[in-house]
Each structure stands twice: as structure tokens, then as C-alpha cells.
Amino acid sequence: MEDSEKVILFQFSSKIFNFQSKNTLHHAAEGGAIGAAKNAAQYAIKIGGRKSNIVSVFDKTVKSTKGNPKWFARVDMPHGKVQYPHINVNKAITGVPDPHIPISGTTAHIAGGAGAVLDVVNKVAPVLMVASIAHDAYQIGKCVATDIENHSSRNTIQKTVTTVAATGVGFAGCGVGAAIGTAIFPGIGTLFGGLIGGIVGGLGGGIGSEIASEVVLETVNYDIDDCHCEKCGKWFQHRRYQEGPLQKYCHDCR
């Protein structure tokens, strides 16, 4: 391994262990908004229905002959030949015969409460997504203004990279989480998994890209100038993207 590669590897490892993100909560919110929006775009929730129905999840991407979303998974109390609380899964969507997955009565009622919460999240998802996009646009705008003032571009590059990464990994995490949730508890688990997967993906993508971009830009000294202190005569590194375009004195002499 070349010396330059060892330096990059060491810096990257140091960032992983020592880096503390100011934007952790924001990245989680970004991913959560993505997960909520993706859930709302694909699924609808109905509480109750027939006497035995607790909660039903409908897949908007699969339509009946009348153009209505087909039900994907349903939590039911005992009825007919199935004399225990259970989860029904629609064969028309999965291609697998309904397994009538047995659950306890307590779990069935908890699923109903969770469905009510997820229904509210679905309804506010568009607002959350708009708010998240607006916040990101505002933050990028601030970085652009700072970079124009400082004769730099590093702040804008880093913010754009982390926003794109958090969004992309958030979408991917939502899909993975939904798949895991479906395997555990079809329907309600699908939506919860998508939401949690989006949050985890947003966190991982945002923080990971912050660390990686910081290491790369530090390695190439991007927007970092070598300056000669006019007071003590020492050479020092001037971080133009943070401190502005002009700096005559080193940190010790300021």
C-alpha cells in the first residue's frame, strides 16, 4: 500500500471513530420523511370494516377491475373456519396462498392501534416531505451564500453530497426495511419497516457521506490555503471556506 493510501485510510478511520455529526437529527428526519412518503404513495390503511376486521392495508399499485386498490394484508379476529386471531395475506398480490398467520388477541389489538398511528403518518407524509425538501433547499442556499462570500465552494459541495446520499440511501433503506417488516408482520410490519428503514438509511447515508467527503476534501486540501503569517513569519493553513478569503495572521497571532 502506498504512503498516500495509508494516510487516506488513517484519516478515514479516524473520522469514523471521532466524527460527531451536527446533523444527526436532521438526517434521521430526512430519512423518516422519505419512508413516510414512500409508504403513503404505495399503501392505504383502513381501521375496522367487517366485524372481524381489525386493520387492513391496501396496495395502491395493484388495482381491482373497478380501479380500487387491492387489500394486501389484513389483521382479523376469529371468524368462519379460522378460530384464532390471524393475519390474512392476499394471494392475488403475493402469489402465495393465504397463510392465516396466527397471532394473539393482544397482538391483533396492538396492530389496530399501530395501524391508526400509521394512518396519521400517511396523511401528514406529504407535508413532512415538503418541509424536508424546503429545509434542505434553505441549507444549501445558506452554503452557497457562505461560499460566495468566502470565495470557496466546499460548503456547497459537502451539503449537496450529504443531501443526495441521505435521500438515496433513505429510499434504499425504506425498501429493505419494508421487506424485513413484511417477513415479520405483513401489512403493518411492512409500513413500520419502511419507516424505520428510511430513518436508518437517512442516518447512514448522511453521516457516512459527511465523513467520506470530509476525508477526501481534507486529503486534497480543498479550499485550504498555505499562508505566510505577517506577524510571526510562520506558514499556516487557512481554511478559506470557514474563515473567509483573507487571513494575514496564523492562529497563534490572531
pLDDT in tens, 186-195: 999 999 999 9
- Provide the whole-model pTM: 0.85
Measured torsion, CA atoms of residues 78, 79, 82, 83, in degrees rounded to the nearest 10: 50
Helix (H, G, I), strand (E, B) or coil at 246: coil
Per-residue pLDDT at 3: 53
30 CB neighbour count, 10 Å cutoff: 30
What is the rounded average pLDDT of the residues 122-135? 96
Give me the amino acid identity at 58.
F
Per-residue pLDDT at 14: 54
Per-residue pLDDT at 247: 87
Helix (H) or strand (E) holding 237: strand 235-239
Q: Where are the alpha helices (DSSP H) in 71-187?
A: 91-94, 105-150, 154-184
CA 73/CA 186 separation, integer angstroms: 6
CA 127/CA 197 separation, integer angstroms: 20
pLDDT in tens, 19-56: 555 678 889 999 999 999 999 999 999 999 888 999 99
Going from N- to C-terminal start, the domains of the chain cover 22-219, 223-254
Residue 156 or residue 10, greater confidence: 156
172 CB neighbour count, 10 Å cutoff: 16
First-last CA distance in the chain: 40
- Band the pLDDT of 251: cuts 50, 70, 90: confident
pLDDT in tens, 214-227: 889 999 999 999 99
Per-residue pLDDT at 4: 46
pLDDT at 204 over 60: yes
